[in-house]
A and B are shown apart, each in its own frame.
Chain A
Amino acid sequence: MAVEHRNELLRTLMMAGAVLSAGAAVAAGLTGVDALKDRQAHMKEMGKASKAIVDSLKAGSADPAVIKPNADKIYTNSKAILTWFPKGSGPETGAKTRALPVVWTDQQDFQAKAHDLQVAAANFDAVAGSGDMAKVGPAAKALGQACHACHEKFQAKEKDD
């Protein structure tokens, strides 16, 4: 029953996601290589924000002045992430990209993982201002795992070039 309910919810979300994805990509007007470059810039922005958060935690503090703005940035980006992958912005552009074709052939799982990221980013954003290491630490780890879960399947490993 609970599983069924979750599946139902997921289906609705995915449909919403697909509509949103198509809609926003059109709205942004980016296709092909432009969409690819835009996506990479956004991903880098998220990477930098994540690093700022982890650096603060590693230095031994959950400084809200550092963590909160970066958490906001990640959360905002996570909500837009499905719009960064319009059809035709993958390896077929001929541009250098580590996005795998499976992004577009397994949209169901891709959207589910994007949704997991949004949940993790929302949870993180909710505790980011607390300054409490005990809350921020585990939420940051969960967020990193959401990034990783998607990259593991949908992103090619780095080549040594």
Chain B
Amino acid sequence: MPAELAAAEATPVRARIWDLPTRALHWLLVLLIPFSWWSATHDHLPWHLLSGFTILGLLSFRLLWGVFGSPTARFARFLAGPRTVAEYVGGRLSQVAVGHNPLGGWSVAAMLLALVTQVGLGLFSVDEDELNEGPLSRFVDFDTGRAIAHWHHKVFWVLVALIGFHLTAILVYALRRRNLVGPMITGVGRLAPGAQAPPLAPAWRMAAVALVAFAFTWIIAHGLRLR
């Protein structure tokens, strides 16, 4: 058992770990990723596109939030070096920061990267009937757009594999009596003794980042049309 867990169990101190945008974004993805798959496989492509644009907006927000958001949401804080990851996995890390653990941070990064790739491919995908092609498909030719559509089908399974890893990790921690799901719902979780509760980003910053993400998504979804 990692030292962090043993210590936390000795003296549980509870504090807000995850801010509201991080949690809302997480649960929206939980709904939208299966919905995107279902709508694509059941011939509801207009819904699939809307779902994809929503995910694009969420990802844009998340990437900005990884720079400007609350500490536990920031990439610079949760992406650890290889030695730290190895020490954590080996249970030799004495002090683990609040938020994503060194391995979990990379799991989150991998899922975000797969999602960015997936949405990016979708934007350029060409559909045979030219009814529901991606908004940026006019920048690629027919054959390229069809090849991109094939990759869009394949990368989905990479995403599924990464989500499988994520769910397995949650299960492993649950078996070690550590609840990761609760804090992602309420935002409140255990702190290691002596650890400081992380400060939260102010609401105005959330609004500013949301506005930028929305504007970016709007322009992309409209195919960069300048007229």
Contact = CB atoms under 8 A, between A and B. Distances in A.
Interface of A: 44, 47-48, 50-51, 53-55, 58-61, 140-141, 144-145, 147-148, 151-152, 157-158, 160
A148 B43 CA distance: 10
A55 B223 CA distance: 10
Give me the 3 closest cross-chain CB pairs, A-B, nearest first. Answer: A55-B138, A50-B130, A144-B131
Given A54-B133, A144-B131, A152 B43 contact: yes
Contact of A51 (B145, B149, B153, B157): B145
A47 B142 contact: yes
Interface in B97-156: 126, 128-131, 133, 135, 137-138, 141-142, 145-146, 149-150, 153-154
B83 interface: no
Contacts of A140: 130
A147 B150 contact: no
A144 B130 contact: yes
A66 to B, nearest CB: 11
A23 B129 CA distance: 28
Contact of A158 (B43, B126, B142, B153): B153
Contacts of A48: 142
A145 B126 contact: no
B153 A160 contact: yes
B176 interface: no
For chain B, which range describes its interface: under 10, 10 to 19, 20 to 34, or 35 or more residues? 20 to 34
A51 B141 CA distance: 8
27 contacts: A47-B126, A47-B128, A47-B130, A47-B142, A50-B130, A51-B130, A51-B133, A51-B145, A53-B130, A54-B130, A54-B138, A58-B135, A58-B137, A58-B138, A58-B223, A59-B225, A59-B227, A144-B129, A144-B131, A147-B130, A147-B131, A151-B129, A152-B43, A158-B150, A160-B153, A160-B154, A160-B157
Interface string B143-183: 00110011001100100000000000000000000000000
Interface of B: 41, 43, 126, 128-131, 133, 135, 137-138, 141-142, 145-146, 149-150, 153-154, 157, 223, 225-227
A145 B145 contact: no
Contact of A58 (B141, B142, B153, B225): B225
A123 to B, nearest CB: 16
A51 to B, nearest CB: 5
Contact of A60 (B131, B145, B227): B227
Contacts of B126: 47, 51
Contacts of A59: 138, 225, 227
Contact of A148 (B129, B133, B142, B226): B129
A75 to B, nearest CB: 15
A41 to B, nearest CB: 13
B129 A147 contact: yes
Contacts of A147: 128-131
A111 B225 CA distance: 39
B225 A60 contact: yes
Contacts of A58: 135, 137-138, 223, 225
Nearest to A161: B150
Given A44-B142, A148-B131, 14 more contacts: A54-B133, A54-B138, A55-B137, A60-B225, A60-B227, A144-B130, A145-B129, A147-B130, A151-B128, A151-B129, A157-B41, A158-B149, A158-B153, A160-B157
